[in-house]
Amino acid sequence: MPVWQLFSAGKVGGTVLLWASYFITFMMLVTSGTWTPTLLQRAGIDGARSSVATALFALGSVFGTPLGGFLVSRFAARRVLPAALVASAVTLGAVGHTSQSLALVIACLGLAGFFLGVASSGLIALAPLLYSTTIRSAGVGWAMGLGRLGSFVGPLAIGLLVNRGWQIGDCFAALGTAALCAALFTSVIGINRSCGATNADRVTAATGEEL
């Protein structure tokens, strides 16, 4: 299916919001895992302890990822995804202001990894619901592609900010701000009934409420 099909018949808003949400969420997930050890070391935490904190971030994501799809199928995605992303923003933003306490850094990173795991897998569960069967694979594929682009751009962007002299608090605050933007985007994404009414009705019947 040509990509323009994803922007026809009232699907423009849903596609753009979905792409932006994928871009930001996977950008945060990869950037946090990539840059956290360096940023923590710049804040005075030694390499061994920063590695432990990064490992807890990954562990949190491991626990959060399986829950994302379940929560989206059980509750409204417009509730689950924004809540997870707002929680990610709070916990990531707090990392830069708790760097004097290793225990708080580890706790914040573990929670951030958990909530980002929920958000990323929840988006993967959400994407197929936005499109009809004929264009679903194209819609999911392009959304994943934008997520991979975000995971490439994010570490480069943080690298530029660090090169400009940004401190750990500023960098994590920037990631938290991006998470708030994604929370806003996901809060207004709904099932596009003009291209997937049958699928939407099936989801509504299964979950008891709309997406």
Cβ-in-10-Å burial (0-12, 13-18, 19+) of 210 comes to middle
Q: What six digits make up the tokens of 108? A: 């914040």
Residues 26 and 148: beta-carbon distance below 8 Å: yes
Q: Are 39 and 171 in contact (CB under 8 A)?
A: yes
Please give the angle made by the CA atoms of 184, 167 and 186, to the nearest 5 degrees: 10
User: Is 17 part of any domain?
Assistant: no
Q: Would you say residue 14 lies in a domain?
A: no
Which residues constitute the domain of residue 31? 23-207
Q: Indicate whether 15 belongs to any domain.
A: no
In a domain, 2, yes or no: no
Closest listed residue to residue 171, CA positions, set 19, 37, 12: 37
The pLDDT tens digits along the chain (211 residues) read 677 778 876 778 888 999 999 999 999 989 988 888 888 888 788 878 888 888 999 999 999 998 888 888 888 788 899 999 999 999 998 987 887 788 888 899 999 999 999 999 989 888 888 888 888 888 888 999 999 999 999 999 999 998 888 888 888 899 999 999 999 999 888 544 333 434 433 433 343 444 5
Take residue 201 and report the two structure tokens written for it: 């009705």
Query: pLDDT tens for residues 136-182?
Result: 888 888 999 999 999 999 999 999 998 888 888 888 899 999 999 99
Please give the tally of structural domains in the chain: 1
Both tokens assigned to 209: 């409420």
Is residue 5 one of the residues assigned to a domain?
Answer: no
HSE at residue 39, side-chain half, CA atoms within 13 A, is: 31
**Residue 12 domain flag:** no
Q: Is residue 46 in a domain?
A: yes
What does each C-alpha distance from 28 to 24, 48, 120, 175 come to in angstroms? Answer: 6, 23, 10, 6
Residue 16 maps to a domain: no
CATH number (domain holding residue 29): 1.20.1250.20
